[in-house]
Amino acid sequence: MTVEALPLSRRGFVSGLAGASMLAIGACSGGSGRRAPSTRGAIRVATQLSSTSDTLDPAKGATATDYTRHFMLYNGLTTIEDESLVATPSLALSIDSDDRRNWYFDLRRGIRFHDGSELTSEDVVFSLLRHKDPATGSKVATVAEQFEEVTADGKYGVRLRLTGPNADLLTVLSQSHFLIVQAGKADPDGTGTGPFRLSDFQPGVRTVVLRNAEYWIEGRPKLERVEVIGIPDEVSRVNALLSGDVHIINAISPHSTRRIEAEPSCAIMVSPSSLYSDLIMRQDELPTGNPHFVLAVKNLIDRPLINRAIYRNMSTIANDQPIAPFQKYFNAEIPQRMLDLDKARWHVRQGGLQGVRLPIYATAAANGSVDMASIIQEYGSQVGLNFAVNRVPADGYWSTHWMKHPMTFGDTNPRPTADLIFSLFYDSKADWNESAWKNERFDKLLVEARGATDEGLRAEMYGEMQQLVHDKCGLAIPVFISLIDGYDKRLKGLRPIPLGGLMGYRFAEHVWWED
């Protein structure tokens, strides 16, 4: 397989996999502009999280703010630039692999870091291998475990040998964590090959970047200056957009969209995504390990209500399995599970679960989980299950509560491929097998699908795996949550990429400003 870099052109964004129905670009006609940004093409971005853990190290990136910052400063070997979610070469000129295990990357020539030094294979080898060093604290250390060997082959060639074949490697490498930093820099300082140079960085306060005039892609970027700040409070973030203090914001609550739509100079962009908050029912504990319990809970989830009340109809109703309808390999054959109190009652009776008392741990760290828990608690009380919502602080949640009680909420970010999501979260041996379910058939299919060359067969296997998760896994997935951004309409060129908000965090390189 050889992947060639595509000619650089801006793609249209209206058509595509996502489909127009899902693409709710809020737009209002007319309206004169509010306050203009101080310099032409200088914009301010407000994201929902910013703290002292803000980092310049792509390996440590943890928040939308981090990803956005990293994509402005660095480039990856590959990139995903549109809603097709196909990874294309970026710093690599071409990529070859015969067996999907041994990969050869041929780097572009003459690409320079912000300090003037040239990008070489040494930088790439360093950037890939540092994930395997525990001292780096990489977020994708587990993914990087499959890098069996990375070596330089001349100044511009890199060889990568995996522990096993992986068809999705190029997609994996397009993630922000695998962006390329300068060799030898254990603590990257923002010097990358990216479209912007770092001007000011204060963790928890702001990041300011200026246009990299020597950027290796002609005509990019179009903005002179981008300032990224964090406004953790959603209402404040929306107010800042409405008052013209910032020009683009992410993570808008569905309840705020009306306010933005009512303002003529602003608009919203909805990116459907496969992000989901899931209710975890541990299979290694009781009563959650009782199959009747799992089915009772799955049947008392009022998905349309969650979609309507919590997400103002901007989410996608899910079917207790992690592949969203707009994703490849989605199994449309599985009947949609709906609220069915009678069925739930029947399972409660069959499982001898009447009067069960159980806390559901919910947190602000898992999107919408507190309200979802309230809804489940409300319906649970109607079928004889006494749930208590236990809202716990976001900090400490993942280490202290997540998967540690019979019922907790998880929050799973979009993964570019079905294999990734299944192997990270559903493989019985996976660290994050949230519900601790074990299904031999599923595990077998997972391995087989990874190596399958026939697309039809692969689709069939992924379809069955979805059915298995839907039927047997201890996870309830009510909806897929769309990501909603708001922006000043003078900002042009935005289009949703289902990987995340703000065009999959890559907007800065693509958008431009028009008064």
Where in 177-196 is the site for another protein (CB under 8 A)?
187
Which 95-154 positions form the footprint of another protein (CB under 8 A)?
134-135, 137, 139-142
Report the nearest approach of another protein to the CB of residue 412 (Å): 9
| Closest residue by Cα to residue 504 from 311, 272, 316, 329 | 272
Total residues in contact with another protein, by rule CB under 8 A: 75
Report the nearest approach of another protein to the CB of residue 439 (Å): 23
Which 225-254 positions form the footprint of another protein (CB under 8 A)?
229-236, 238-240, 242-246, 253
| Closest residue by Cα to residue 66 from 47, 82, 85 | 47
Closer by beta carbon to another protein, 217 or else 388: 388
- Is 374 a residue that touches another protein (CB under 8 A)? yes
Q: Which residues contact 133 (CB under 8 A, 6 or more apart)?
A: none
Which 27-56 positions form the footprint of another protein (CB under 8 A)?
34-35, 46, 51-55
Q: What is the DSSP letter of 309?
A: I
Report the nearest approach of another protein to the CB of residue 72 (Å): 18
Q: Give the largest CA-CA distance in the chain.
A: 71
Closer by beta carbon to another protein, 405 or else 510: 405
Report the nearest approach of another protein to the CB of residue 184 (Å): 17
Which 257-286 positions form the footprint of another protein (CB under 8 A)?
259
Could you give the CA distance from residue 127 to residue 145 in angstroms, rounded to a whole number? 14
Chain centroid to CA 231: 20
Which 338-367 positions form the footprint of another protein (CB under 8 A)?
362, 364
- Is 204 a residue that touches another protein (CB under 8 A)? yes
Partner residues linked to 227 by β-bridges: 44, 208
- Is 390 a residue that touches another protein (CB under 8 A)? yes
Closer by beta carbon to another protein, 87 or else 389: 389
Closer by beta carbon to another protein, 18 or else 43: 43
- Is 309 a residue that touches another protein (CB under 8 A)? yes
Considering only 43, 95, 373, 383, the residue that binds another protein (CB under 8 A) is 373
Could you give the CA distance from residue 237 to residue 408 in angstroms, rounded to a whole number? 29
Three-state DSSP class for residue 142:
helix
HSE value, Cβ hemisphere, 13 Å, CA-based, for 302:
18
Report the nearest approach of another protein to the CB of residue 60 (Å): 8
Considering only 226, 392, 445, 491, the residue that binds another protein (CB under 8 A) is 392
Kindly list the distances between the CA atom of residue 310 and the CA atoms of 179, 296, 365, 368, 502, in Å, as whole numbers in the listed order: 35, 22, 16, 7, 21
Which 464-483 positions form the footprint of another protein (CB under 8 A)?
none
Considering only 100, 108, 159, 206, the residue that binds another protein (CB under 8 A) is 206
- Report residue 84 as tokens: 């097709």
| Residue 380 identity | G
Q: Which residues contact 37 (CB under 8 A, 6 or more apart)?
A: 43, 44, 247, 513
Considering only 19, 33, 154, 393, the residue that binds another protein (CB under 8 A) is 393
Three-state DSSP class for residue 337:
coil
Could you give the CA distance from residue 55 to residue 67 in angstroms, rounded to a whole number? 10
Contact 77, 180 (CB under 8 A): yes
Considering only 64, 389, 469, 508, the residue that binds another protein (CB under 8 A) is 389
Closer by beta carbon to another protein, 120 or else 369: 369
By DSSP bridging, strand 225-230 and strand 42-47 are: parallel
Closer by beta carbon to another protein, 8 or else 205: 205
Closer by beta carbon to another protein, 432 or else 512: 432
Closer by beta carbon to another protein, 61 or else 474: 61
- Report residue 20 as tokens: 């127009």
Peptide bond connecting 221 to the previous residue in cis, omega within 30 degrees of 0: yes
